[in-house]
Structure 1
């Protein structure tokens, strides 16, 4: 009975020893088998059995790993203290080197990244650090990848996470930014005032031109109307005098005496206290007496056979060319046509000025 128990005990111990030699390697891992202090080879993912009790299996993760570089204060080339931190993405590509060539490849990579980051940023000014993060990332990745290649580690990417200048530097940067914005605002305001003054001057100039043009056209039309009116009035007076002269030629002395007496009667009916006669009153009385038969001497007929054209002249010579209604309408239409053309020229000039005022702001912006 006791013997059977001992046998079962030894069998159990043997089974446990054999089971302890089983090693399960995950798909994303790589195993390193060390037997009695000697490297025996890699263990692939899956089921593996090694000699128990004297074997040591090291499992290394082959996935991409994320390492954080702690925030540290770095002095830039222009002596501006700045707090910088970053993130590194690494991957083990050679498990043997990652385990046998370096004690802890993660800590070694972080320490190397810290020193490299200080060196790279120390060669750059603060403005370059703020605006050239891609350049810093690429330089850090190249330097770290070259250095960690001996450890079997590949640096896939480096990303600067935060660049935070210290308090006094940040205050100076904010003051500089504020001053730059005020300078730009002053420049824009001055440029706007300049363009406004130019446009106002152009508008005033064009307004004066249009007023002068309108005044000129108005004076021309007024003068033309006055000229036509004067011509028509003179021609009307000439026609009236022509008719009077033609009507007065056949009158004899008797008729003139009757007309004179009739004019004297009309003058006596007026309210004027003084009457001035433009002829000799004795002649008038004498002519009236002869007309009433006081004298036997006959009054000869006057102008019965007088040549009117010889005394007065031809109507064309006296009156000049009298325009008929059709000619007057044609002249008025010509004046209206010229006025319409002048108005169209004025409207075109105004349109060109507006177009010039709309194009000038963009030209100033391009020049700027």
Structure 2
């Protein structure tokens, strides 16, 4: 029975000698009230009832989120800044014996350091200098916490809360700035639109001018070609007429037909053929002869009209039904009647 009790006691002591430390943790061991060793992760052995675990320290990175701190800027603007600190333990002995409450110590140190940094900045600089505040705060805290076995890895300013009246002013300023940017953007858009429209009108006018120029060139070339073709056709027609030995009578008849076509319509011009002028000149000679006979009653019998003249023959016997020949024929008849009356008077006188 006694051996069993001794065996149980030895088993309990053996178990008490073994200490298994989890990963990312260390144990601070005190022997007889004094720091003895730091046990790392894994299986460790201690002396039961003599070695005591003083603290269990986590080596993981800690996130210390502190409440907003009231600060005053250089231009006397009161605001609250909310910050967060990232830290980890690099020495379990210093962490255990260096400070009583590491979290409270870091929070107090962060608040005082933040007040010193913001107190040297204006309100506008505080809003736009977060990176500088973060780096300065990190360097100050890291240097101060080295004695506590704590490494400050990063410090971030989460939020800066100005007073409500400052927020109203800032909101109005931002609204005005946005409206200004909107007006500038609309002006630039209108400018670009006007420029693009002007460029489009310019290109359209240039294209229209080029089209009109090409059309004018095409019309001029067409007219030149037409004139050339007409001239060639007329030249060929004259060559054919010359080769065919056309009589003068046929040519005169064709000329009268051409005059008939020209006179047809609402034209106000009068075309007088050369044959008609010859006829009219003969009529004028006959009139002068008649006048001389009237002035000299003793004169001899007036010479009759020369009917052998080709123009008078055309007047007496018109070869076409054109108005010109008809008028010439009528004039010939009137002159014959006057000549007959004159002859009768001369006979009565004698």
Q: TM-score range by the shorter chain?
A: 0.5 to 0.7
Shift in alpha-carbon separation, 1:257–1:175, aligned structure 2, 3 A: same
- Counting only pairs closer than 5 Å after superposition, residues 3-18 of structure 1 correspond to structure 2 as none
Give the superposition deviation at 1:185: 1.4
Shift in alpha-carbon separation, 1:143–1:231, aligned structure 2, 3 A: same
Shift in alpha-carbon separation, 1:281–1:230, aligned structure 2, 3 A: farther
What does residue 321 of structure 2 align with?
A: 266
Q: Distance in 2 between matches of 1:242 and 1:258?
A: 30
Give the superposition deviation at 1:134: 4.1
Measured against aligned partners, the alpha-carbon deviations of 1:146-187 in whole angstroms (never above 9, x if no partner) come to: 111122222222232323333222222222222222111111
What does residue 277 of structure 1 align with?
A: 328
1:149 maps onto 2:146 in alignment: yes
Shift in alpha-carbon separation, 1:26–1:141, aligned structure 2, 3 A: same
What does residue 184 of structure 2 align with?
A: 187
Q: Distance in 2 between matches of 1:35 and 1:221?
A: 120
What does residue 209 of structure 1 align with?
A: 206
What does residue 26 of structure 2 align with?
A: 29
SS at match of 1:206: helix
Q: Distance in 2 between matches of 1:78 and 1:242?
A: 114
SS at match of 1:263: coil
Whether contact under 8 Å (2:59, 2:90) holds in the other structure is: no
Give the superposition deviation at 1:112: 0.5
1:41 maps onto 2:36 in alignment: yes
SS at match of 1:30: strand
What does residue 54 of structure 2 align with?
A: 58
**Runs of at least 5 residues in structure 2 that lack an aligned partner in the other structure:** 1-5, 252-307, 337-350
Shift in alpha-carbon separation, 1:144–1:206, aligned structure 2, 3 A: same
SS at match of 2:68: strand
The normalised TM-score by structure 1 is 0.55
Give the superposition deviation at 1:195: 1.7
Q: Of the candidates 83, 86, 89, which is equivalent to residue 89 of structure 1?
A: 86
Count of paired positions: 262
Q: Of the candidates 175, 180, 195, which is equivalent to residue 178 of structure 1?
A: 175
The normalised TM-score by structure 2 is 0.57
Whether contact under 8 Å (1:62, 1:93) holds in the other structure is: no
Q: Distance in 2 between matches of 1:237 and 1:256?
A: 29
- Counting only pairs closer than 5 Å after superposition, residues 188-337 of structure 1 correspond to structure 2 as 188-229=185-226, 239=237, 243=241, 246-248=246-248, 263-264=318-319, 266-267=321-322, 275-277=326-328, 281=332
1:166 maps onto 2:221 in alignment: no
**Runs of at least 5 residues in structure 1 that lack an aligned partner in the other structure:** 1-10, 286-368
Shift in alpha-carbon separation, 1:105–1:34, aligned structure 2, 3 A: farther
Whether contact under 8 Å (1:78, 1:126) holds in the other structure is: yes
Give the superposition deviation at 1:91: 2.7
| RMSD, aligned α-carbons | 4.6
SS at match of 1:70: coil
SS at match of 1:58: strand
Structure with higher RCO (Cα < 8 A, 6+ apart):
1
What does residue 317 of structure 1 align with?
A: none
Q: Distance in 2 between matches of 1:279 and 1:234?
A: 40
Q: Distance in 1 between matches of 2:17 and 2:240?
A: 150
Shift in alpha-carbon separation, 1:125–1:195, aligned structure 2, 3 A: same
Max radius of gyration: which structure? 2
Q: Distance in 1 between matches of 2:137 and 2:87?
A: 13
